Amino acid sequence: MTAAGDKIDGRSKRRPGVDQQRETIRRTAVSLFARAGTRSVSIAQICDAAQVSRPTFYRCYTDKNALVEDIYAEAVATPSTDFQLRANLHDSAALREQLDALFERIFANADIARVIFVEASDPGSPAAKIIEEGFARSARTLARDLKKAGITPPSTTYLKSVMAAVQWLVHDAINKGLDARSRAEAKQAAFRLVVNALNDTAS
pLDDT tens, 137-155?
888 888 888 888 788 888 8
First to last CA, the chain: 62
How many domains is the chain built from? 2
Looking at the fold, whether 100 and 39 belong to one and the same domain comes out as no
Q: Compute the mean pLDDT over every residue in the chain, rounded to the nearest whole number.
A: 84
Range list of H helices, 37-109: 43-50, 54-60, 64-72, 78-86, 92-107
Q: Are residues 136 and 178 in the same domain?
A: yes
How many CB atoms sit inside 10 A of residue 183's CB?
A: 19
Could you tell me the residue range of the domain that residue 38 belongs to? Answer: 7-60
CA distances from 43 to 2, 18, 78, 111, 183 (A): 16, 17, 25, 20, 35
Predicted TM-score (pTM) of this structure:
0.73
Tell me what percent of the residues of the chain surpass a pLDDT of 70.
88
Distance CA 79, CA 42 (A): 28
112-130: pLDDT as tens digits: 888 877 777 788 777 788 8
Tell me, yes or no, whether 69 and 152 share the same domain. yes
Q: Are residue 37 and residue 69 in the same domain, yes or no?
A: no
